Every structure is written in C-alpha cells, then in structure tokens.
C-alpha cells in the first residue's frame, strides 16, 4: 500500500536535546511538508520541499532543520533552540506536477513531548 509513514508515534526527550522525526513516503511525490499542530491553532507550516536537495522555510521554521537527500524521505530535526517543542508533528506529501497538485496526503503524525 502506498502512503506516508512517520516514526515513532510517540517520542520523549529531555530539554536541550536535539531530536529527529522520520517521514517516509512511497507515493513517488515530489513535494513534502512538515506541519506543527497545537490545540486550537490548526496546522502551521514548518518547512517544505518541492524537489530533492531543495527546501524552503515555512511560517515557523525557527528552531527546526530539515534535509531532502532522497525523494522519499524528509526528516525533521527539532533543535534545542526551539523554545516550545512539545507538539504533534505531521508530515505530508503531494504530487505537484499532476492535476491533483494541491492535494496533500498526510502521515499519522508523531507526538513529541519534551520535559
């Protein structure tokens, strides 16, 4: 089955530690996105990438970093510089060259708790 996988489902870290969230897709999509979700705030875009080895900052990129070395993978690192890292993180992908270019497919999410 094609889809997006995010691992792990739950992640716990101590304050001051960097942590990397995994996102893998086998949909052969060009574009990938990372969102942060907090209660009552909807989803906010952290980073996005339309092609391998290229990515752009979203609305709340401070304290985060990404890489796009492979088409199917778009890992997100939450650095110690992120002041409020505890949140639900969602990865998405879309095939922006097709007629459905604006439809994003979402992974199941990773809930990160930093104490």
Contact residues toward another protein (CB under 8 A) are 4, 6, 31, 33, 35, 40-45, 48, 50, 56, 58, 88, 90, 92, 94, 96, 101-109, 111
41 vs 95: CA distance, rounded Å: 26
CA-closest candidate to residue 72, choices 87, 93, 57: 93
For residue 105, the minimal CB distance to another protein (Å) is: 8
Rank residues 19 and 29 by Cβ distance to another protein and give the closer one. Answer: 29
Rank residues 50 and 67 by Cβ distance to another protein and give the closer one. Answer: 50
Give 13: exposed, middle or buried? Use CB within 10 Å, 0-12, 13-18, 19+. middle
């Amino acid at each position: 089955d094609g889809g997006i996988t995010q691992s792990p489902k739950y992640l716990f870290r101590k304050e001051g530690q960097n942590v990397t969230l995994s996102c893998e897709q086998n949909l052969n999509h060009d574009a990938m996105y990372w969102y942060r979700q907090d209660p009552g705030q909807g989803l906010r875009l952290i980073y996005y990438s339309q092609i391998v080895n290229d990515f752009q900052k979203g609305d709340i990129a401070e304290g985060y970093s990404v890489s796009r070395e492979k088409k199917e993978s778009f890992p997100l690192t939450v650095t110690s510089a992120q002041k409020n890292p505890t949140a639900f993180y969602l990865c998405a992908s879309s095939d922006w060259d097709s007629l459905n270019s604006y439809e994003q497919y979402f992974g199941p999410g990773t809930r990160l708790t930093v104490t």
